[in-house]
Amino acid sequence: AQSVAQPEDQVNVAEGNPLTVKCTYSVSGNPYLFWYVQYPNRGLQFLLKYITGDNLVKGSYGFEAEFNKSQTSFHLKKPSALVSDSALYFCAVRDILTGGGNKLTFGTGTQLKVEL
């Protein structure tokens, strides 16, 4: 089975500074990786995904992620953090279901706190 790990429960960063939220993956075959964000009492919003192609993926709200095959990582980044970026971030990997189709297997989430 595929899996992802988010080693940090919480990341604190000052507004205007760059931010990184870490994710490493373990897959057999080609990895299909996703980042989602969850605001309090809301659903998950899709940020970006890596399927194939460029290792640097650009997504919504100024976020980007870098796929690194040698380090099996897919870290989420933003050059300049905003207070409004404070939320819970989930990394996910596509996992093939034995019955057909796919599911997402999520990491445990990283709480991002951006302070003034």
Interface with other proteins (CB under 8 A): 32, 34, 36, 41-46, 49, 51, 90, 94-95, 97-109
| Residue 32 C-beta: closest distance to other proteins, Å | 4
Query: What DSSP letter does each residue of the chain carry, written as one string?
Result: --EEE---SEEEEETTS-EEE--EEE-SSS--EEEEEE-TTS-EEEEEEESSS-SEEE-GGG-EEEEETTTTEEEEEESS--GGG-EEEEEEEEEE-TTSSEEEEE---EEEEEE-
Q: Which is nearer to other proteins, 73 or 107 (CB)?
A: 107
| Residue 111 C-beta: closest distance to other proteins, Å | 11
The tokens of 33 are what?
Answer: 């990786």
Q: Which is nearer to other proteins, 45 or 80 (CB)?
A: 45
In degrees, to the nearest 5, what angle opens at C-alpha 98 toward C-alphas 38 and 93?
A: 30
Q: Which is nearer to other proteins, 49 or 75 (CB)?
A: 49
| Residue 79 C-beta: closest distance to other proteins, Å | 24
Q: Which is nearer to other proteins, 77 or 94 (CB)?
A: 94
| Residue 116 C-beta: closest distance to other proteins, Å | 27
